[in-house]
Amino acid sequence: MRTGISFEDVAAVAAQLRNKGINPTVRLVRAELGTGSFGTITAHLNAWRHGEDNKADASYVDTLSAGLKNAIANEIKVALAKAKEDLKARIEELESHLEQSADEISRLEDELDGEKRKRGELEVGLKTTQGQLTAQQEENHKLRDRIETATDVASSAKIEAAESNARFETLKENHDRLLTENGELKGEVKELAKDVSRLEREKAVVEASARS
C-alpha cells in the first residue's frame, strides 16, 4: 500500500484526467491513486489547480499585442493608484475613527473614575447612615424600655390611685357615719341634759318640801 501522497503524485493524476477531458475531483484522483487522505489530496489538488490557472494567465498574456499589454498595464496602474488612494482614505478614516474612539474611551474612563468616586462616597455615606440607624435603633430600644417602664409605673399609679380612691370612699363613708352618730349623740346629750335639769329641779322641790 502506498503512503505519503506527494504533490507530484496528485498533479500527475490530475493532468492525466484533464487530458482525457475529465474534471479532476478529489474522489477521482484518490480512486486513481488508490490511497491517500482526502485532506492531503484536496490540498495538493488545489495547489495544482492554482498553478494551472497561473500558467493559463501567462499563456494568455503572451498572446496579447504590445499595445494591448501596455493598455492593460496602464489600467492596472490606474486601478492600483485608485486602490492606494482608497486605501489611504480608508486608513485616514480609520485613524480618525480611532482618535474619536480614543477620546470616547478617555471620556468614559473619566466618567468611570467619577462614578467610582461617587460610589466610594456613597459607600462611606451608607456606612455612616447604617451606623446612625444602628444608634437610632439602640436609642429606640432604650426609649421603648423607658416607655414600658413608664407604662408600668403609670399602671401601678392607676392601681394605687384606685386603691386610694377606694380608701377615700371608705373613710368618707366612715366620716359621714361618725358625723351622723355624733349628731345623734349630741341630741341624746341634750335630752340627757334636759332630764338632768328636770331631775335637779324635782330634787330641789322635794328637798324644799322636806324642810318645811
User: pLDDT tens digits for 173-193?
Assistant: 888 888 888 888 888 888 888
Percent of the chain exceeding pLDDT 70 equals: 83
Given this model, what pLDDT does residue 1 score? 39
Distances (CA, A) of 29 to 26, 52, 56: 5, 16, 22
> Is position 45 within any domain?
yes
pLDDT score of 39 more than 60: yes
pLDDT score of 88 more than 90: no
Q: Which amino acid is it at 75?
A: E
Identify which has the larger pLDDT, 182 or 32: 32
> Is position 44 within any domain?
yes
Given this model, what pLDDT does residue 206 score? 85
> Is position 20 within any domain?
yes
Identify which has the larger pLDDT, 129 or 97: 129
pLDDT tens digits along 10-25: 999 999 999 999 999 9
DSSP-based three-state secondary structure for 195? helix
Task: Determine which of 33-42, 60-69, 129-138, 180-189 has the lowest per-residue pLDDT on average.
Answer: 60-69
Angle of helix 7-19 versus helix 26-33 axis, rounded to 10:
110
Identify which has the larger pLDDT, 173 or 71: 173
- Distance (Å, whole) CA 179 – CA 164: 22
The mean pLDDT of 128-146, rounded to a whole number, is 87
> Is position 151 within any domain?
no
Given this model, what pLDDT does residue 65 score? 56
> Is position 100 within any domain?
no
Q: What is the DSSP letter of 137?
A: H
Q: How many domains does the chain have?
A: 1
pLDDT score of 125 more than 70: yes
Task: Determine which of 54-68, 107-121, 197-211 has the lowest per-residue pLDDT on average.
Answer: 54-68
Secondary element (H or E) of residue 205 = helix 66-211
The mean pLDDT of 14-39, rounded to a whole number, is 92
Domain that holds residue 10: 1-63
> Is position 11 within any domain?
yes
> Is position 203 within any domain?
no
Angle of helix 38-62 versus helix 26-33 axis, rounded to 10:
110
What's phi and psi for 64, nearest 5 deg?
A: -80, 155
Distances (CA, A) of 2 to 32, 126, 134: 12, 79, 86
pLDDT score of 72 more than 70: no
> Is position 79 within any domain?
no
